[in-house]
Structure 1
Amino acid sequence: MQKNSVRTVMRGAMILSVAALFAKVLSAVYRVPFQNMVGNTGFYVYQQIYPIYGIGMTFALNGLPVLISKLIAEAKDDNERHQIVHQALLQLEIFSVAVFLALYFGANGIAREMGDTALAPIIMSVAWMFLFMPFLSVARGYYQGQFNMVPTAVSQLVEQVVRVVIILGVAVLATRMHWSPYVMGAMAMSSAAIAAAAASITLWRFFRVLRQPYQGRVDWYTLGKRLLVEGGIICLFSAMMVLLQLVDSFTVKTGLVANGLPDAAAKAQKGIYDRGQPLVQLGLVIATSFSASLLPALAQAYHQHHVQTFVRVSTTLLRVSLTLSAAATTGMVVLMPQINTMLFSNGEGDSVLAVYVLSILLSALITTYNSVLQSLNQFRLTLIGLCCGLLVKAAGNAWAVRTFGIVGASWMTVASLLVILGVIWFGSDRRYRAAVWQNGFGWKLTLICGGMGIGVRLGVLVFYQVLAPGFPRLASALILGIMVPIGAALFLMGANRLNLLTIREWLTLPLGDHLVRLGQRLKKVGK
């Protein structure tokens, strides 16, 4: 590949990465003002159905386009690429229509299983977006397979912006016109299909590809098997947290009612519990956003049979991800009362959310290690781990909620993630993970996080005595504004003093050279 071609590919990959990061942040952030406007019950109504949308979005954005781009890149010529495009589109259309019919005409049954039959119109509303999934998946995969990332990035941004604007607009109207939470939910979920249509319009050039003639066709069975097996595994793992949330949709509210809570109170409690989802999503963005820059190096080292390089890069990937996710998790746990009050206006469910955000650490490690295993073309182990974790969540969630209340659902999410991590961690080749713990990395990280957590918590107690107690939301915002940078400084100081990461590992982070210099200054201050 010529130098200009390489530059074009790298530019496209950077555009796609930035677009994906922006979309993830936007997808997490909009739910805070949305919850503030619609309240706990309105948030419950929206979040009950959100996992269904989340699964469809994963199929159309992350999972299927990745596989289709691989098939396009492997094709020998344009004729074979056109065969793949048409056959994949046809197979996915059959699948998406089946999903649409199952959701639309099975909405009453699904809502009944969720313990709230009024949710049926909202399920029908979100079902329409699945009809756009085949076109979006194949078009994005085709362009990515041609190393043109811009169409995917543009369609992704348009889809998220349109959806968020509609959702927040619906929330404003629902507040002013006093709509019921269920009317609001149906209107908000209609944004999924409208946004998918808008994204499809940005990919209009793909219709030219579909009109081009071709001869023959790829093997129907082989293509279908790859879409089902490889595409299915990628989609399922990309939707890991959404699948766990889907289990919550069927078990949490019904479990609370079975535990003796009135129906209205159970809905409000589920809405409070759902506050944890945007927090975890933001934490995961922080913990895993850097990893994409190292994945090409992993794949290259594996294909060139450079075992030592592969082990070194995978170790760096895991250690840095573990460091960032541990810091983010610790900070959220100790500052949860202030985070909850500042974002959602009150401290309801602090302990429940503090447990739930432990998912950040586990999910980040699972996602990162899964990237390592995918570079080794090891898909079966990750599928087994995911199935085991989902089985634990599905089997134990209702019991945990009936026995321990809403915090039981948080603990079951943590337990299921531990199972997934345990299966893929201990079931894989030891040499790809053993180096992570060298030089006392585990105890150093534990000591640093513990010291940061204690220091931040003591600082919070001091500032609460100083700030006016009559304005809890303002006080919480001020405390967070002070304690977050202090906590970051404490963590960085401890990491440098104990040599947690090597210079090379620090430099993999954005602004890594500045962090190294800052850490050295803090280290001198601490002496």
Structure 2
Amino acid sequence: MADSKLIRGTMLLSGAALASRILGLVYIFPFTAIVGQTGVALYQYGYIPYTVLLSLATLGVPLAVSKFVSKYNALGDYRTGYRLFKSGLVFMAISGLLAFFLLFFLAPVIAPIVVSDPTATEGNSFEDIVFTIRMVSVALLIVPLMSVVRGYFQGFQSMGPTAVSQVVEQIVRVLFILAMTFSIVQLMNGSNGLAVGFATFGAFVGALGGLGVLLYYWVKRKDNILAEVEKSKVDHQLSLREMYKELIAYALPLSFVGLAIPLYQLIDSATFNRTLQAIGYSQLEVETYFAVFTSTAHKIVLIPMALATALSITLVPTITKSFTNQDHSLLQRQITQTYQVILFLTVPAAVGLAVLAYPVFGTLYSIEDLEIGGYMLRYYAGITLFFSLFAVTAAILQGMNKQKYAVIALAAGLVIKLVTNISFLKAFGPLGGVWATYAGHLVSIAVTVWAIGKFAHFRYTLIIKRAILIALFAAVMAIGISIINVGMQSWFPLTSRGNALAIVLVTVSSGAVLYLYISYRSHLAGKILGDRFRFLKKTNSPSN
């Protein structure tokens, strides 16, 4: 019964996380249509430092609190978990307040780091950047508090409050962003700076929605929880110092690994614009490239990553049990399956995005910025594979209680990104930031893959063979969709979003059919996805 509750809760959280991510991806398309690429750049100037500070303020609290509470609840000590919950609310309130003050008052210091010329007449002004950062900073007063409440509910293996609050928070945030920006720009003829500032304030409004959901669940369940606390048979009487020492031991690795993408983008925030302006790019050009790199193209590459991790996430929690029980045979199969699913889904997605970068960008955003958007997406598309591999290998290490190697891997990658970013930008222009991101993730993945091989005694022979086969099939698919793409553009030139959409619909569907057909005929699809989609398994397919 407990296992089924845990599995159901895990699936519920996974579904909520996927729904939240999809909502976070979809809103960017109409938002970009309203405020343009420079408006998106301004949004990122505020949101990137906010995300980093939020992660530092919360320190991976939800999962850490859930592990702590679950552990002591299992020992019959509900009182210790409740004491942590009460003190955690106070601690997170103080942490959030300090983070708010830090971001709010540092806004005038951050703005000159992002854009070097205060007298520039094009692009976003210093005042707009400061306003945007200060508007988003208000959310830091609420979000850390929610993390404690979510973690406490999860400690009782109750995932519903977290799942529902995440989805409600995202829905409220997205609706507020779109309503405010449309009203300010289209109805009131207001400035982009004002519209984007209120858009980032959506993080606070969304947090209010999520907090309201959690308060509803707390009022509904408070009596039962307090009854459990009163009936506690054991009381470990841990001091606050002992409780927080244990909590931090859980939280720090989780928090740091979760910061991977925001920390990469923080490095770009501090170096991308200034370096490109120093070598001759105008502020308007730089901000358009920055918006595409850190947001609009970035959101596109996250789509296949979300699909891949959603399918493989059910495997990762079971790795902990296999590793703990020293069931090496099962552990090998689980890791093999996880790698295969990620490669099977993300390699063709990355290749397809690279080939179809221009029509895809034109369909989702606009034809006006197609040259820059398609250009950046073509070379950035492959990062979806790197993001997916790092996320999954870090999760596997976490399941094996070797999360410190994931932290080491991320630290090594960040050092590479930091060291190479400016020199690559000078050498390759806007693509330098892309190449530096690839280099950093390549190093991080090398460390995590090595660590999994060492501590799980995992042999990569089969994975290498499958990766070569998948890459070959993806190359065949790329040739096919390239031919179709060229032919379609002779009939539907990329001069309108309608033409771009027609090209994308035909090429993507053709590419998917071609890739899946080859995979099916070669038995590869059946071997990798057969347990999920039994019709893919042929009765005469050879064994693995």
Q: Corresponding residue for 2:201?
A: 190
Q: Corresponding residue for 2:376?
A: 352
Deviation at 1:105, TM superposition (A): 1.3
Contact persistence 2:412–2:444 (CA under 8 A): yes
2-structure distance, mates of 1:85, 1:372: 28
Q: Corresponding residue for 1:491?
A: 515
2-structure distance, mates of 1:432, 1:364: 22
Q: Corresponding residue for 1:201?
A: 212
Task: List per-residue Cα deviations over 1:358-416 (Å, max 9, x = no partner).
Answer: 11001111111112111110011111111111122222223322332111111111111
Contact persistence 2:336–2:463 (CA under 8 A): no
- Residue 467 of structure 2 is aligned to residue 442 of structure 1: yes
Q: For residue 348 of structure 1, give the secondary structure of its aligned residue in structure 2.
A: helix
- Residue 300 of structure 2 is aligned to residue 293 of structure 1: no
Letter in 2 for 1:266: V
Task: List per-residue Cα deviations over 1:246-274 (Å, max 9, x = no partner).
Answer: 22222111122112122233223322333
1:57-72 superposed matches below 5 A: 63-72=60-69
1-structure distance, mates of 2:297, 2:347: 17
Q: For residue 291 of structure 2, give the secondary structure of its aligned residue in structure 1.
A: helix
Deviation at 1:508, TM superposition (A): 4.5
Percent same amino acid at aligned positions?
A: 26
Task: List per-residue Cα deviations over 1:90-123 (Å, max 9, x = no partner).
Answer: 3333322221121111111122222263311211
2-structure distance, mates of 1:304, 1:14: 23
Which residue of 168, 172, 195 maps to 1:158? 168
- Residue 20 of structure 2 is aligned to residue 23 of structure 1: yes
- Residue 47 of structure 2 is aligned to residue 50 of structure 1: yes
1-structure distance, mates of 2:83, 2:316: 30
Contact persistence 1:284–1:325 (CA under 8 A): yes
Deviation at 1:234, TM superposition (A): 0.9
- Do the aligned partners of residues 353 and 222 (structure 1) sit closer, same or farther apart at CA in structure 2, a change above 3 Å counting? farther
Contact persistence 2:185–2:191 (CA under 8 A): no
Which residue of 379, 391, 397 maps to 1:373? 397
Q: Corresponding residue for 1:453?
A: 478
- Do the aligned partners of residues 371 and 502 (structure 1) sit closer, same or farther apart at CA in structure 2, a change above 3 Å counting? farther
2-structure distance, mates of 1:342, 1:370: 34
Letter in 2 for 1:100: F
Deviation at 1:454, TM superposition (A): 0.9
2-structure distance, mates of 1:487, 1:432: 37
- Residue 425 of structure 2 is aligned to residue 401 of structure 1: yes
- Do the aligned partners of residues 125 and 338 (structure 1) sit closer, same or farther apart at CA in structure 2, a change above 3 Å counting? same
Deviation at 1:224, TM superposition (A): 2.9
Contact persistence 2:453–2:459 (CA under 8 A): no
Deviation at 1:465, TM superposition (A): 2.1
Q: TM-score, normalised by structure 1?
A: 0.90
- Do the aligned partners of residues 70 and 412 (structure 1) sit closer, same or farther apart at CA in structure 2, a change above 3 Å counting? same
- Do the aligned partners of residues 353 and 439 (structure 1) sit closer, same or farther apart at CA in structure 2, a change above 3 Å counting? closer
456-465 vs 294-303, which moves further: 294-303
Task: List per-residue Cα deviations over 1:281-318 (Å, max 9, x = no partner).
Answer: 21211221112211232222112210111111111111
Q: For residue 281 of structure 2, give the secondary structure of its aligned residue in structure 1.
A: coil
Q: Tell me, which stretches of 5 or more residues in structure 1 are unaligned? A: 521-527
Contact persistence 2:406–2:448 (CA under 8 A): yes
- Residue 113 of structure 2 is aligned to residue 89 of structure 1: no
2-structure distance, mates of 1:336, 1:375: 36
Letter in 1 for 2:259: A
Contact persistence 1:126–1:189 (CA under 8 A): yes
- Residue 126 of structure 2 is aligned to residue 117 of structure 1: yes
2-structure distance, mates of 1:251, 1:229: 33
Which residue of 140, 151, 166 maps to 2:150? 140
1:196-275 superposed matches below 5 A: 196-204=207-215, 205-206=217-218, 208=222, 218-273=238-293, 274-275=295-296
2-structure distance, mates of 1:314, 1:172: 47
26-35 vs 273-282, which moves further: 273-282
- Do the aligned partners of residues 496 and 486 (structure 1) sit closer, same or farther apart at CA in structure 2, a change above 3 Å counting? same
Q: For residue 203 of structure 1, give the secondary structure of its aligned residue in structure 2.
A: helix
Q: For residue 212 of structure 2, give the secondary structure of its aligned residue in structure 1.
A: helix
Deviation at 1:471, TM superposition (A): 4.6
2-structure distance, mates of 1:48, 1:490: 41
- Residue 530 of structure 2 is aligned to residue 507 of structure 1: yes
Alignment length, in residue pairs?
Answer: 513
Contact persistence 1:23–1:156 (CA under 8 A): yes
Deviation at 1:279, TM superposition (A): 0.7
- Do the aligned partners of residues 327 and 143 (structure 1) sit closer, same or farther apart at CA in structure 2, a change above 3 Å counting? same
Letter in 1 for 2:218: F
- Residue 339 of structure 2 is aligned to residue 318 of structure 1: yes
- Do the aligned partners of residues 435 and 268 (structure 1) sit closer, same or farther apart at CA in structure 2, a change above 3 Å counting? closer
Q: Corresponding residue for 1:524?
A: none
Q: Corresponding residue for 2:122?
A: none
Deviation at 1:52, TM superposition (A): 3.0
Task: List per-residue Cα deviations over 1:52-87 (Å, max 9, x = no partner).
Answer: 343466679993211110001001322111112123
Deviation at 1:516, TM superposition (A): 4.5
1-structure distance, mates of 2:4, 2:404: 35
Letter in 2 for 1:420: S
Deviation at 1:427, TM superposition (A): 3.9
Contact persistence 1:103–1:127 (CA under 8 A): yes
Deviation at 1:142, TM superposition (A): 0.8
1-structure distance, mates of 2:161, 2:266: 30
- Residue 137 of structure 2 is aligned to residue 127 of structure 1: yes
2-structure distance, mates of 1:129, 1:470: 41
- Do the aligned partners of residues 190 and 217 (structure 1) sit closer, same or farther apart at CA in structure 2, a change above 3 Å counting? farther
2-structure distance, mates of 1:316, 1:421: 18
Contact persistence 1:32–1:343 (CA under 8 A): yes
Deviation at 1:148, TM superposition (A): 0.8
Which residue of 140, 155, 179 maps to 2:190? 179
2-structure distance, mates of 1:33, 1:138: 33
Q: For residue 441 of structure 1, give the secondary structure of its aligned residue in structure 2.
A: helix
- Do the aligned partners of residues 189 and 438 (structure 1) sit closer, same or farther apart at CA in structure 2, a change above 3 Å counting? closer
Deviation at 1:9, TM superposition (A): 4.1
Contact persistence 2:350–2:384 (CA under 8 A): yes
Which residue of 345, 353, 368 maps to 1:332? 353
Alignment RMSD, CA only?
A: 2.6
